[in-house]
Amino acid sequence: MPLSLGHSPWLLALAAAVAGALTWWAYRPSATPSLAPRRRALLGGLRFSALALVLFLLFEPVWRQVREEKTPPSVAVLLDESESLRVTAAGSTGASPDSAASPRPAVRQAVRGVKGDALDGARLRVFGFSGRLRRLPRPSRRALDSLRFDGPRTNLSAALREAREQLRGENLRAVVLVSDGQYNTGRNPLYQAARSPVPIHTVVVGDTTRRRDVEVRRTEANDLAYTGTQVPVRLSLQADGFAGEPVQVSLWDGGERLARRQITLAEGSATQDVTLTFAPQRAGLKRLTASVARLDGEATYRNNTRAVSLRVLEQKRQVLVLGAAPSPGVSAVRRLLSNDPATEVTARVSRGEGQFYGGSLPGSLAESFDVAVLVGFPGTAATSDDARRVARAVEDGLPALFLVHPQTDLRALRRHFADALPAVPEQIRTSTVQATFAPTAAGRRHPVFEGVGPGARENASSGSATAPWTRFPPLRRPQTRWRLAPDARTLATSRVRSVRTGDPLLVTRRRAGERSGMLLATGTWRWANLPRALSGAASRWPRLLSNLVQWTSAAENDRPVRVEPARPTFAGDEAVRLTGQVYDSALEPVEDASIKVALTGGSSSGERPGPPNRSANGADKRYTLQMQSLGTGRYALEAPALPPGRYEYEATATKNGQTLGTDRGAFAVGRSRREFRRPRANADLMRQIAGT
């Protein structure tokens, strides 16, 4: 019976009889008030019905209805279609490396073995996977023909997880994984297999024996190089089965061989480093290719080359460091600037009577140097002729960064450099006071604070970036009164005993295309020699000093839109990231602008971001992408992985229907080689997946 009660039905019947009796007694014939028989019957029936319903519910009735439905079991078949099968499966069939032979016959044979008595009556759900999972028809010739075997990465863990998610509503009873076991993206698949609620059966495709192969594992070069100088490019080779054989390693720029070297391959499978050097003759973005010659019997030739990119500049930045006297401050500045590979430092320190430690003062200062860093110069040991000579060079366009020093002759500084200084000393005092460096809100938005510690430019409206500077050793600020130039900007002020005084510490100025900066305190050499407790902040002052020199020496850049790639070359399987900045006519950051980036380049095939439009040459394509605002005039764009090639971009910024400006640039995308690092099937991993 589908209906059941929580107590005996006889007890319910007795309770109903009692309720009926009570109802009759309540509505029996009475003299006053007199009711008609029909009304008395209606009221009595309602009373009895209500009591009976309450009694019925108190006895906890349950109505059971059982329905049987048979759902056939489902089995998920995951077919690996990554590029590595072109190598591992080719080895099992005896095909030559990188031949046109397809791994499809080996996969078809593996799928044919899956279909047996154990799967009779089961619904097969077939998927192809490399980096992501995609649904295929039932195992048939058409389904296998749709396998592409061009995935640039293999994520076994994601394939196992996504298969269960897509078949959540079905009676999934097992998973069959058909792969060579070579994964190079995502978590270890053993973790995913251990949490699988259904058994996982594995089928190994490909040759499991160790195969002979030579691979360029890694290429390294400095991001920046300079014309006319030797640039080293380091290659890491790994060879299996070719010990003692000679091979030629080359460096190419398109069809031009830049360098080559004959080496003998080492024994075993350890990496072998080779360095090739070349001297670039033209500035610009260089996308080079390092290659090792092909040897007979290699598993694949696709890992014999690897791209490397670098940006070639005309020459190094020439920096003149002029010191007032030998001191730790001068030594620290010279050492920090010399650590920058893009900087060549010439140091001179006054020793009196027109002489300098390090040699005489170079001639034609404005033409020989890009920037002058005056560490206390002019000091008490400097002659008026030397001070006037340096001042004339600054007036002729030599950018200057002034760092106040205990030996600085402030009167000589005011007399010779007043027109070039961001701040001029008015009331000169020799006494000093301890002060803490406190960046201003405008300073945190300035380019000189770019990358100066975490959070330095994140919140321009709060003092969150000031707190880390309080842990630094205090500076000594002269109690001299300074008069700021009308076009000067205060980037940092002083704190004395935790009280912000408003007195300037770091000041910059831009006038008529010329730039200058000034630090009105001494003792920064202590910031370059921090104790171990402050090792995490040790890069703040070197980065700030480098930014000051770079900003001061940079040619005046009035471009309102500035878009740059995160690196000169991106790997073929990683996202392409561009960063941008937008400024108004006063070079203040512009927020909420719309920046559209038009990408042109690459080959004519493959998947691309955005709607493709064939260019005039019939090969390159053009896409339009949108940058996202990060606040404070900064923008970013992260596009999906692009096919290998050289790309050019044009960024256009608009706001309220008006065009703010454009910027152009270029970057390169190299081929992904991760699928060809291990040219054999990993049967051990596949057995472990099936055994968990």
For 182-221, what is each residue's pLDDT tens digit? 888 888 999 999 999 999 999 888 777 777 888 888 888 8
Q: Under CATH, which architecture does the 561-672 domain have? A: Sandwich (2.60)
Can the peptide bond before residue 378 be classed as cis, meaning omega within 30 degrees of 0? yes
Per-residue confidence band for 32, with pLDDT thresholds at 50, 70 and 90? low
As a whole number, mean pLDDT of residues 470-492 equals: 90
Q: Running DSSP on this structure, what letter comes out for residue 449?
A: G
| CB environment 110-148: b (16+ within 10 A), e (fewer) | bbeebeeeebeeebbbbbbbbbebeebeebeeebbeebe
Statement: residue 69 has pLDDT above 90: no
Q: Are 626 and 649 in contact (CB under 8 A)?
A: no
Rounded to a whole number of angstroms, the distance between the first and last alpha carbons of the chain is 46
Would the CATH topology of 213-298 be identical to that of 561-672? yes
- Within 8 A by CB and 6+ apart from 416, the residues are 378, 384, 387, 388, 390, 391
Angle made by CA atoms 171, 175, 177, in degrees to the nearest 5: 160
As a whole number, mean pLDDT of residues 324-347 equals: 90
- The answer to which of 47-61, 366-380, 455-469, 668-682 has the lowest mean pLDDT is 455-469
Q: What is the pLDDT of residue 401?
A: 94
- Within 8 A by CB and 6+ apart from 120, the residues are none
Give pLDDT tens digits for 33-45.
666 777 777 877 8
Q: What is the pLDDT of residue 50?
A: 85
CA dist 629 and 635 (Å) reads: 4
Angle made by CA atoms 463, 467, 473, in degrees to the nearest 5: 140
Q: What is the pLDDT of residue 611?
A: 36
Statement: residue 612 has pLDDT above 60: no
Q: What is the pLDDT of residue 40?
A: 75
Q: What is the pLDDT of residue 159?
A: 92
Per-residue confidence band for 364, with pLDDT thresholds at 50, 70 and 90? confident
Q: What is the pLDDT of residue 149?
A: 80
Q: What is the pLDDT of residue 152?
A: 76
Q: Where are the domains of the chain?
A: 3-63, 74-150+171-207, 213-298, 317-553, 561-672
Q: Domain 74-150+171-207 adopts which CATH fold?
A: Rossmann fold (3.40.50)
Q: Please state, as a whole number, how many other Cβ atoms lie within 10 Å of the Cβ of residue 544.
A: 25
Give pLDDT tens digits for 622-640.
888 999 998 878 899 988 8
Q: Running DSSP on this structure, what letter comes out for residue 522?
A: B
Q: Are 414 and 439 in contact (CB under 8 A)?
A: no
Q: What is the pLDDT of residue 453?
A: 62
Q: What is the DSSP string of 68-83?
A: ------EEEEEEE-BT
Give pLDDT tens digits for 416-465.
999 888 999 988 888 889 999 989 888 887 888 877 865 433 343 334 44
Statement: residue 466 has pLDDT above 60: no
Statement: residue 91 has pLDDT above 50: yes
Q: What is the pLDDT of residue 139?
A: 58
CA dist 239 and 676 (Å) reads: 13
Q: What is the pLDDT of residue 292?
A: 92
| Tokens coding 664 | 């152009």
Statement: residue 106 has pLDDT above 80: no
Per-residue confidence band for 114, with pLDDT thresholds at 50, 70 and 90? low
Q: What is the pLDDT of residue 586?
A: 60
Statement: residue 347 has pLDDT above 90: yes
Statement: residue 92 has pLDDT above 70: no
Q: Domain 213-298 adopts which CATH fold?
A: Immunoglobulin-like (2.60.40)
Per-residue confidence band for 587, with pLDDT thresholds at 50, 70 and 90? low
Instruction: Return the CATH number of 317-553, one of 1.20.1250.20, 3.20.20.70, 3.40.50.880, 3.40.50.620.
Output: 3.40.50.880
Strand order, beta sheet including 284-292 = 224-226, 305-313, 284-292, 246-253, 256-264
Give percent of the chain above pLDDT 70. Answer: 86
Mean pLDDT, the chain, as a whole number? 82
Q: Is pLDDT larger for residue 503 or for residue 461?
A: 503
As a whole number, mean pLDDT of residues 64-76 equals: 81
Q: Is pLDDT larger for residue 62 or for residue 331?
A: 331
Q: Is pLDDT larger for residue 137 or for residue 297?
A: 297
